[in-house]
Amino acid sequence: MASWYGAKYRGRKTASGERFDPSDLTAAHPVLPMGTLVEVSRPERRGAVVVRVNDRGPGGGRIVDLSEAAARRLGLVNEGTGLVSLRVIGFAE
């Protein structure tokens, strides 16, 4: 299960030390190293988005918190949460 966070958190420091920007394709994950590139897809929809892990979280039984931009690409903004699959594809330089 994925959720997302947006403008309310704009400018706050993430666990990586950078400032959160809801228009960036980023995500919070509990254990993946900072900078990990992850392909996120929804089983019931076509398409995927690649995000960079830059924060820690989420809680409540979710596996990832997506930035608003990533959630929008996956059609999660109106729903708030949704089932997703994650696949590590590399590391940001």
| Three-state secondary structure of 71-89 | HHHHCCCCCCEECCEEEEE
Instruction: Read off the pLDDT of residues 4-63 as tens digits, 9 standing for 90 and up.
Output: 999 999 999 999 999 999 999 999 999 999 999 999 999 888 889 999 999 999 888 899
Query: Residue 89's pLDDT band (boundaries 50, 70, 90)?
Result: very high
How far apart, in whole angstroms, are the C-alpha atoms of residue 16 and residue 13? Answer: 8
| Domain-wise residue ranges, the chain | 2-91
Contact in structure between 6 and 32 (CB atoms under 8 Å): no
Q: Where are the beta strands (DSSP E) in 18-82?
A: 26-28, 36-41, 48-55, 64-67, 81-82
pTM confidence score? 0.92
Assigned CATH for 2-91 = 2.40.40.10
